[in-house]
């Protein structure tokens, strides 16, 4: 991907994120407002921390920001709570149709929120997982061979 396109993607994502930062999001799962701060932006873009992100990882996460907002604002259930280094991390998840460059795919999108010292929840990260296509199981080994043969046009 060319540098000009990369810059544009990051600028567009920053415009979205900065506007979101000013309003925050109300979470039905927490029954309160979630802060959107530079902590999440720096984490997603790999600006801080020991782990540098690849461009493709950063790109995917930037593209997921609008979905992260939707999950925070609609999810009613906290999926997971983890404590690392004395800090609480919360996970919200949803199966969402995600628009990629080529198509729309159903993906599990996970949003991570972190609790600060004042017990406020702050947006921290977003990630996705492509779903594996389940193959249909058949009662006989020959039935699946016939099915695949028919699909190929024979």
Q: pLDDT (tens digit, 9 = 90+) per residue, 25-62?
A: 999 999 999 999 999 999 998 876 666 778 888 888 99
Give Cα separations from 3 to 7, 104, 130 (angstroms): 6, 25, 27
Within a domain: 137? no
Give Cα separations from 110 to 78, 127, 145 (angstroms): 11, 5, 37
Within a domain: 89? yes
Within a domain: 25? yes
- Looking at the structure of the chain, the number of domains it has is 1
Within a domain: 99? yes
Tell me which of 37-41, 71-75, 98-102, 113-117 is least confident: 98-102
Within a domain: 143? no
Within a domain: 141? no
Distance CA 88, CA 90 (A): 7
- Asked if residue 74 lies in contact with residue 29, where contact means CB atoms within 8 angstroms, the answer is no
80: containing domain = 3-132
Within a domain: 142? no
Show the tokens assigned to 35.
Answer: 């802060």
Within a domain: 11? yes
- Asked if residue 109 lies in contact with residue 71, where contact means CB atoms within 8 angstroms, the answer is yes
Distance CA 40, CA 52 (A): 15
Average pLDDT estimate for 11-33: 96
Show the tokens assigned to 65.
Answer: 């920001």
H-type alpha helices, 51-140: 55-74
pTM of the predicted model as reported, rounded to 2 decimal places = 0.79
pLDDT for residue 9: 87
pLDDT tens, position by position, 103-133: 888 889 999 999 998 999 999 999 998 655 5
Average pLDDT estimate for 64-83: 96
């Amino acid at each position: 991907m060319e540098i000009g396109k990369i810059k544009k993607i990051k600028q567009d994502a920053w415009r979205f994120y900065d506007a979101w930062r000013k309003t925050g999001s109300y979470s039905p799962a927490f029954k309160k407002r979630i802060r959107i701060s530079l902590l999440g932006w720096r984490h997603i873009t790999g600006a801080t921390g020991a782990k540098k992100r690849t461009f493709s990882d950063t790109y995917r996460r930037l593209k997921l920001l609008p979905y992260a907002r939707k999950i925070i604002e609609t999810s009613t259930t906290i999926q997971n709570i983890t404590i690392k280094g004395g800090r609480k991390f919360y996970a919200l998840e949803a199966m969402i149709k995600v628009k990629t460059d080529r198509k729309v795919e159903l993906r599990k999108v996970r949003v991570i929120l972190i609790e600060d010292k004042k017990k406020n929840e702050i947006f921290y990260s977003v990630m996705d997982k492509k779903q594996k296509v389940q193959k249909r199981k058949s009662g006989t080994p020959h039935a699946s061979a016939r099915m695949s043969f028919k699909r190929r046009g024979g």
